[in-house]
A and B are shown apart, each in its own frame.
With several copies, the nearest count.
Chain A
């Protein structure tokens, strides 16, 4: 029996309800994606999968595509104003840098939680922030200033901003469509191929995207998959030749 991915019930800090409602709210920007813990969603799915006992490739495929989309949205949010470069491939360092960044964000979110609790526990402390009503009024004197400092300040405001050097942080991976086209071409010309051999020389981010493309084609019924056992090579056939 298939795991109904879209109806997957979620009970997160920021959201409670079915998975597809969460996606809808995120896309409508009614839910801050930064508040959504994707790891919790994955755990919920794995636990549901565990309950069902049987592996459901269809469900897993759909889930991977949806979670990948969610992660991509989240990744984009981490680089505001920067276009992710889909063409220029990147190394695994980018992925680990992103993981590092997510861990850092997690820590600051925990720090925000600490501050919130502190605010609550300190809410009974009242104090005056301005001068006392009968305090003597302070006199503020300023030493003579050089008018040239104004020109320097204005010139700095007119200076061209330095180029941000974030190249090494940009997460980049190819679009799924590239592999869709490549696999369709292989199926047309050869009727089938070994997935492992095709992706052998690719970087890990590329391999992940290639795998997503494979699942997508399987979902559309364009191909059939075969595997002797877990972690064994995956063989791919054209759905037409297989039937």
Chain B
């Protein structure tokens, strides 16, 4: 009898598993209302499920801890794992930029402010991810738009100057045989890219 009772699943258990699943894939904390909408269940049942999860996912018992924050609920790492987590996210100093990043940075440094479509024409490939990466690293930043309603243009930042050991942008190395005015250089690069076909 007692055995049978244990086998009958508590209906909130299944809801708790679904809430658990939602919390592990969410990119932001989830409110009770959001969880109720996704599970198509009642908010008070969702709260019961959260209570169940809260007793399972707590400090000392689990490495995953359910936390209540301003926007709702989210999983975080247990405090006892803080050092390991710090070692995981702390990235070693990166020695070199990828070829895509270096090329994009060179175009922005010498021809900037320049828009993503212009960078794409010169490199012969879409520039979105390369530019986004440089913006995230703080080496490149938005510098207004190309006319009203035009494409956003980008230029290098003071951090770029520090990383490359330049007192200011005028200190960029000479381009020698490529020198001339920026318009000529841009036209030449676009011409070569068009003939390269990629």
Binding site for B on A (CB under 8 A): 32-35, 39, 43, 46-47, 49-50, 74, 77-81, 101, 103-116, 118-119, 121-151, 153-162, 164, 166, 169
User: Are B94's CB and A140's CB within 8 A?
Assistant: yes
Contacts of A124 in B (CB 8 A): 79, 82
Bound-state Cα–Cα, A135 to B89, Å:
9
Q: Pick the contact of B103 from A33, A101, A157 — CB < 8 Å?
A: A157
Binding site for A on B (CB under 8 A): 21, 24-29, 67, 69, 74-77, 79, 81-82, 85-86, 89-91, 93-97, 99-100, 102-103, 105-107, 109-110, 117, 120-126, 136-139, 145, 147-150, 159, 162-166, 171-176, 178-182, 185, 188-189, 192-193, 195-197
Contacts of A43 in B (CB 8 A): 185, 188-189, 192
Bound-state Cα–Cα, A70 to B137, Å:
34
Bound-state Cα–Cα, A136 to B139, Å:
22
Contacts of A169 in B (CB 8 A): 121
Contacts of B25 in A (CB 8 A): 126-128, 131-132, 134-136
Bound-state Cα–Cα, A121 to B166, Å:
12
Q: List 25 A-B residue pairs with CB atoms under 8 Å apart, sorted by A's residue number.
A: A43-B185, A103-B179, A115-B109, A119-B94, A123-B94, A125-B165, A127-B25, A127-B76, A128-B25, A131-B25, A135-B76, A135-B85, A140-B136, A140-B137, A147-B165, A149-B97, A151-B175, A153-B102, A154-B110, A154-B178, A156-B103, A157-B149, A158-B178, A159-B148, A161-B197
User: Are B94's CB and A133's CB within 8 A?
Assistant: no
User: Are A108's CB and B163's CB within 8 A?
Assistant: no
Q: Pick the contact of A143 from B85, B93, B124, B136 — CB < 8 Å?
A: B93
Shortest Cβ distance from B177 into A: residue: A155
User: Are A160's CB and B149's CB within 8 A?
Assistant: yes
Q: Pick the contact of A156 from B85, B120, B148 — CB < 8 Å?
A: B148
Shortest Cβ distance from A135 into B: residue: B25
User: Are A109's CB and B103's CB within 8 A?
Assistant: yes
Bound-state Cα–Cα, A141 to B193, Å:
32
Shortest distance between the CB of A56 and any CB in chain B (Å): 13
User: Are A150's CB and B110's CB within 8 A?
Assistant: yes
Are A142 and B196 CB-contacts (below 8 A) given A159-B149, A161-B150? Answer: no
Contacts of B121 in A (CB 8 A): 78-80, 101, 166, 169
Shortest distance between the CB of A37 and any CB in chain B (Å): 9
Contacts of B69 in A (CB 8 A): 133-134
